[in-house]
């Protein structure tokens, strides 16, 4: 099975950028937090990527883990999208990045076509993209 995600797509905060609506979209696509590239000529503004306190590749390597900023992000993602960056980071710390990527693939791979299910919309960006376009609005996970 071909891997859906690369290590570089796992952001310092534990977000899998490969699941993000901004990474998956066709136009003005975000390259991910770790690439150091720009979107529309502007640097990516990820607060956790730019954190002055962070000493390693991931937030869990910081003595302040989890900081208030990460807690706010985690709360928002748990409530809106049913996922937790803090849990992701704890899993990576305990099991390693390779096992985390395998777990993510199992969790987010579309059972119909093998594409990627977006964490923000719960739709596969391969076989369900027409449904997203038909809605003509941004909507949250599991919203009808």
**What is d(CA 18, CA 9) in angstroms, rounded to the nearest whole number?**
6
144 pLDDT band, cuts 50/70/90, is very low
Written as six digits, the tokens of 56 are 């390693």
As a whole number of angstroms, the longest Cα–Cα distance in the chain is 46
85-95 vs 97-108: helix axis angle to the nearest 10?
Answer: 130
**What is d(CA 20, CA 34) in angstroms, rounded to the nearest whole number?**
14
- Distance, C-alpha 129 to centroid of its chain: 18
Number of Cα atoms under 13 Å in the Cβ half of residue 144: 0
Residue 122, φ and ψ in degrees, nearest 5:
60, 25
Every domain of the chain and the residues it spans:
7-135
Residue 39, φ and ψ in degrees, nearest 5:
-115, 125
More confident residue, 66 or 25: 66
Q: Does the pLDDT of residue 56 top 80, yes or no?
A: no
Q: Does the pLDDT of residue 45 top 60, yes or no?
A: no
Would you state the pLDDT for residue 27? 81
**What is d(CA 18, CA 33) in angstroms, rounded to the nearest whole number?**
10
Would you state the pLDDT for residue 62? 87
Range scoring the smallest mean pLDDT among 1-10, 46-55, 69-78, 109-118: 46-55
Would you state the pLDDT for residue 99? 97
**What is d(CA 48, CA 33) in angstroms, rounded to the nearest whole number?**
9
pLDDT in tens, 87-106: 999 999 999 999 999 999 99
């Amino acid at each position: 099975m071909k891997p859906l995600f690369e290590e570089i797509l796992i952001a310092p905060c534990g977000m899998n950028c490969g699941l993000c609506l901004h990474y998956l979209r066709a136009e003005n696509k975000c390259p991910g937090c770790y690439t150091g590239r720009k979107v529309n000529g502007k640097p990516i503004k990820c607060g956790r990527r730019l954190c002055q306190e962070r000493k390693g590749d991931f937030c869990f390597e910081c003595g302040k883990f989890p900081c208030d900023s990460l807690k706010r992000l985690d709360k928002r993602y748990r409530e809106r999208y049913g996922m937790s960056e803090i849990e992701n980071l704890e899993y990576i710390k305990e099991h390693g990045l390779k096992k985390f990527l395998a777990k993510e693939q199992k969790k987010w791979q579309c059972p119909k076509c093998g594409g990627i299910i977006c964490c923000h919309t719960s739709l596969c960006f391969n076989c369900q993209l027409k449904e997203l376009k038909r809605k003509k609005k941004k909507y949250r996970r599991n919203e009808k």
